[in-house]
Amino acid sequence: MKITAELSLYPLADHAVERIVAFIEDLKHDAGHDAGAVEIVINQLSTQISGELDEVFELVRRALEHSFGSGGSQVLVAKFLNAGLPITEAPDLGGG
């Protein structure tokens, strides 16, 4: 089953930006091992991931485990959709 996830990490400690960047880099690094099986799009507000359910969840699990293991309190806000959205394309908002 294809899914799409949207993630936002909020470190509740010093060096928040560095912790967020490290989390994103972990996601990108681990996704790179699967040669296109998972798509990742990063913007100013969140990180979006699209792919097979097991692969997306495992990718998030590994990055979160590493991030939480680095210390300090953190909050991960996640939304999951049970469909593979074309996250690398601009959305069609209809209004022409």
Question: CB-based burial of residue 41 (10 Å sphere; 0-12 exposed, 13-18 middle, 19+ buried)?
Answer: middle
For the sheet with 47-52, list strands across it.
39-42, 47-52, 2-11, 74-81
Report the pLDDT value the prediction gives residue 90, as an integer from 0 to 100.
81
Please count the structural domains in the chain. 1
Domain with residue 9: its CATH number is 3.30.70.930
**Domain assignment of residue 88, yes or no:** no
Distance (Å, whole) CA 38 – CA 31:
6
**Containing structural domain, residue 41:** 2-81
Tell me: pLDDT of 12 over 60: yes
How far is residue 19's CA from residue 46's CA, in Å, rounded to a whole number? 14
- The answer to whether residue 69 sits within a structural domain is yes
> 26-71: per-residue pLDDT in tens?
998 888 765 568 999 999 999 999 999 999 999 999 999 999 998 8
Q: Greater confidence, 77 or 89? A: 77
Q: Angle 16-32/53-69 helices, nearest 10 degrees?
A: 140
